Structure 1
Amino acid sequence: MEKVMMKLSGMTCPSCLSKIERAVGSLDGTDQIKVLFNAGKLKFTLDTDKTKTVDVKTAIEKMGYEVQGIKERSLTDECRRKIPGGIEAKRP
């Protein structure tokens, strides 16, 4: 699982927000989808075994929006860092 943030341009009204959320939500493996209209950002979690980031990017661009940047962070690594005494913490 990954946490993904995309910087978008081309959103002109709040209905763009719901169109993007529906389109991304229809892709297998996406969850916790949130479009920040004023910031021009899309945030979501992604199961990369089911869908790739490039597939989400392509779906957004097919609707006429531009993806200007993508940041990804593995939730597995994030969880390991947060669990005191977890497997990663025990390694020398």
Structure 2
Amino acid sequence: MKTVKFQMDALTCPSCIKKIEGALNRQKGVQEAKVLFHSSKVKVVYDEAVVSADKLQGIITKLGYPVLSKKIA
């Protein structure tokens, strides 16, 4: 398992959190997706054999939320 953190532009509403977490948690290979509202970060624990960090970033971007940077741990 790997962890990726996406730095987002400022997230302004609780519905943004549910939308992002829901879409990521439905993705095959994602163990856990959590939006850190106050720091505008999205933390995802995922199986790199099933899904890539780029694919996860694409999901967020398609929802209309720009990703400023990503850090894989």
TM surpasses 0.5: yes
Question: What is the CA RMSD across the aligned residues, in angstroms?
Answer: 1.0
Q: Which has more radius of gyration?
A: 1
Q: 1:29–1:47: 8 Å Cα contact kept in structure 2?
A: yes
TM-score, structure 1 length as denominator? 0.74
- Relative contact order: is structure 1 or structure 2 higher (C-alpha 8 Å, sep ≥ 6)? 2
| TM-score computed with the length of structure 2 as normaliser | 0.92
Q: Distance between the aligned counterparts of 1:44 and 1:60, measured in 2?
A: 11
**What is the number of residues matched between the two proteins?**
73
In structure 1, the gaps of 5 or more residues are: 74-92
What is the identity percentage for the equivalent residue pairs of Structure 1 and Structure 2? 34
Unaligned runs of 5+ in 2: none
Q: Residue 59 of structure 1 aligns to which amino acid in structure 2? A: I
Any idea what SS the aligned residue of 2:64 has? coil
**Could you say which residue in structure 1 is the equivalent of 2:55?**
55
